[in-house]
Structure 1
Amino acid sequence: MRLAAPVLAVAAVAFAPLAAACSSCGCTLSTDWSAQGYGAGQGFTMDLRFDYFDQDQLRSGRHRVDRGGIALPAGQEIQLRTINRNTTLTLDYSPRPEWGLTFVLPYFDRYHSTVPAGETDVSQSHSKSIGDLRLIGRYQGFGDGHSNVGVQVGLKFPTGSFGERFSSGTEAGEIIDRGLQPGTGTTDLLLGIYHHQALDRDWDYFGQAMLQLPLNMRDQFRPGAGLNLSTGVRYASFERVVPHVQINARIEARESGSNSDRPNSGATLVYLSPGASFAVSKRLSVYGFGQVPIYQRVNGLALEPRYSVSVGLRYAM
């Protein structure tokens, strides 16, 4: 898909906010490349993306945990399920081809059920709220015309709620775990680097790394620092349809603070993400991706999904 329309560089990746290992699936997917391709352009671009993933598999270390073998009441919380239906709006402005600014705002629709420590009854919550706003600047004036290297610097602002509560069960009225809240309450520094290049007339590839560093503690909670790594290839010889495949990884440190769940936080997660984009017109593209785990290592007990689905549209103005 090489349409003569303004295109958005890799820096406009719509990073879904991360809230510990329990909700990191889908966060590393690079949908800017899937929708438009890497290239220098200028102007406004809008991306609207929906992610669905059902975290119903309890894991410890690199292995699945059989809940049937856990006698209740247990000495620790036994999570049952977390269903995520998340929407992310990304707005990008490039006054010049070599630099630009990206605004990312997520909205979370998250159902969670768990059996608290020492209990036998299920407690439930259902949060619907905006998450933490990201503002990311980029410069991509490197390269030789056949490749493109760029850097990213940004901040995540504490716009999301971190006071959501259980709605039923023995924990009704109590605040849910900070790792499950729409926002972390902290301001985070974002630092990234990316590179993409045409391998030949038909094939392109990209590589990207983004580091997220919390700058403060809020209400006795500091999320773990995280590193996102992504690489992928695409086949661009078809007129409108562009197949893609990515490998996405997330490495996250443990939470800290008296309101953290430090023993059950932190993870290393790797996903395989096949998908495709379709050029509806010179300005409008739609895309879809599936994502399956190929490596999972979590600390303590954590819920992870068996797969995730992402769909979206991108419009270049």
Structure 2
Amino acid sequence: MLRPSRTLVSTAIVTLAILPGLAGACSTCGCSLNSDWASQGYATSSGFHLSLREDYFNQSRLIEGSHRIAVGSIALPSDEELQRKTINRNTLLGIDYSFNRAWGLSVQLPWFSRYHETWPEGETTLSSSDGRGIGDVRVLARYQGFSPDAGVGLQFGVKLPTGTFKQPFNAGTAAGELLDRGLQRGTGTTDALLGVYKFGYLGESVGYFAQAMAQVALNARGGFRPGNSLNVNLGLRYLDAGIVTPQLQLNLHGEQRESGALADRANSGATLAYLSPGLGLKLGRRLEAFVFLQLPIHEHVNGVQIEPGRLWSAGLQYRL
């Protein structure tokens, strides 16, 4: 039976200690759930693995610090922009190739569909945007040859500036003006990605994984630099329930404030934690499905931001 190493436990403790100091820009604009095959131990065999994932979440809860505030309690017009809601329907296509048991490469292509409403500064009527398109592509290499069971891995790569950062409002008094940079489908920057993961078994029936992934912007663009971020994911799977696999994740996300002339520095950066129960379903020898519900258990944001009350994720994974 494999047991978590002391190094893994130490890394998790240090990472959790760092999180509060890492204060998602413009609230959570993406889902922090882990569906990475490699870090969960699914991609140890050579060959291609494909995945398709759908995320849905409605950011409509107004949060100040760690407290929810009623939208009606804020007098309009406001001397600052006040976000009303953002409805996110995101698709993530993943292509993973394992060259051998030690080395692999994955490409993640996001497609965003995002509807947003806000009260501009000094206005009492809402302005809105409704945009769809490709986001920033992520390319990750991995090495998991540290042990015979390939249970420890290192990930490294880049996030490329493939998503637009020039989407305007479609309606309202702000029509034609650009959305805040934190709401755009892309940041315009190239970011470095560095992660570490461990997976194994706590017994014959329970599998576990732990992953930490840091994202650091390497440049600023157009007066904007996104905050550096850190995701930490811990998960358990029960393996003796037939074709159904009950799962539970703890997802932690920390992000620093944006910077630059076009950044909303006062209202960016947060520390967030989600508890995510889910199910895996084996549909065949090569095909699996999953569905998860993410529930916030801790929220602390800088300034005033909108956060979702729940996040849904569902997807398919196929081994070629």
Whether the 8 Å contact between 2:27 and 2:270 is mirrored in structure 1 is no
Opposite residue 50 of structure 2, the aligned amino acid is M
Do structure 1's residue 71 and structure 2's residue 49 form an aligned pair? no
Aligned to 2:292: 289
Residue 203 of structure 1 aligns to which amino acid in structure 2?
A: V
- 1:213 correspondence with 2:216: yes
Q: Is the partner of 1:263 in helix, strand or coil?
A: helix
Q: For 1:34 and 1:309, how far apart are their aligned partners in 2?
A: 22
Is the aligned partner of 1:22 residue 2:27?
A: yes
Pair 1:125-2:125 in alignment: no
Out of 210, 228, 232, which is 2:231 matched to? 228
Instruction: Return the alpha-carbon distance in structure 1 between the equivalents of residues 217 and 205 of structure 2.
Output: 40
Q: 8 Å contact 2:63–2:69 — kept in the other structure?
A: yes
User: Which residue of 1 is the match for residue 252 of structure 2?
Assistant: 249
Aligned partner letter, 1:153? F
The alpha carbon displacement at 1:214 in A equals 0.2
Give 1:97's aligned amino acid: R
Letter in 2 for 1:63: H
Map of 1:55 onto structure 2: 59
1:81-96 equivalences in 2 (<5 Å): 81-96=85-100
Q: Which residue of 2 aligns with 1:275?
A: 278
- The one of 298, 313, 316 equivalent to 2:316 is 313
Quick one: distance in 2 between partners of 1:295 and 1:33? 26
Give the Cα–Cα distance (whole angstroms) in 1 for the partners of residues 81 and 313 of structure 2.
30
What amino acid sits opposite 1:277 in the alignment?
A: G
Aligned to 1:16: none
The verdict on how the C-alpha distance between 1:235 and 1:48 changes in structure 2, with shifts beyond 3 A counting, is: same
Name which of 97, 101, 119 aligns with 2:101.
97
Deviation at 1:136, TM superposition (A): 0.2
Deviation at 1:121, TM superposition (A): 1.0
* Structure 2 residue 186 is matched with structure 1 residue 183: yes
Match of 1:114 in 2: 118
Question: How far apart in 2 are the matches of 1:34 and 1:275?
Answer: 18
Asked whether the equivalents of residues 203 and 234 of structure 1 are also in contact (C-alpha less than 8 Å), the reply is yes
Please list the CA deviations of residues 113-132 of structure 1 after superposition, one character each: whole Å capped at 9, or x if unmatched.
Answer: 00011111110001101000
Give the secondary-structure state (helix, strand or coil) at the position aligned to 2:266. Answer: helix
Mind listing any 5+ residue stretches in structure 2 that lack a counterpart?
1-23
Cα distance in 1 between the residues matched to 2:278 and 2:308: 18
The correspondence for 1:141, drawn from 140, 145, 150, is: 145
Picking from 175, 200, 204, the partner of 1:201 is: 204
1:24 Cα offset (Å): 4.0
Q: Deviations over 1:204-234 (max 9, x none)?
A: 1111100000000000100000000000111
Q: Deviating runs (4+, > 6 A) in structure 1?
A: none
Q: Write out per-residue CA displacement over residues 8-50 of structure 1, whole angstroms, 9 at most, x where no aligned residue.
A: xxxxxxxxxxx62423452x21123599854521100110000
CA RMSD, Structure 1 to Structure 2 (Å): 1.5
Structure 1 distance, partners of 2:237, 2:288, is: 15
CA-CA distance at 1:144 after TM superposition: 4.5
SS in 2 for 1:79: strand
**Residues 1:172 and 2:175 are matched in the alignment:** yes
Letter in 1 for 2:33: L
**Offset of residue 142 of structure 1:** 1.6
Tell me which residue corresponds to 2:36.
32
Once the two structures are TM-superposed, the CA of residue 143 in structure 1 deviates from its matched residue by 2.5
Whether 2:171 is the aligned partner of 1:157: answer: no
Are 2:253 and 1:239 aligned? no
* CA apart distance, 1:69: 1.1
Q: Secondary structure at the match of 2:182?
A: helix
Q: CA shift at 1:65, angstroms? A: 1.2
* Structure 1 contact 34–244 (Cα < 8 Å) conserved: no
Helix, strand or coil at the partner of 2:303: strand
Percent of aligned pairs with the same residue? 49
Q: Give a deviation string over 1:177-221, Cα, whole Å, max 9, x none.
A: 000000000000000000011111000111110000000000010
Shift of 1:274: 0.4
Match of 2:27, SS state, is helix
TM-score scaled by structure 2? Answer: 0.90
Letter in 1 for 2:201: A
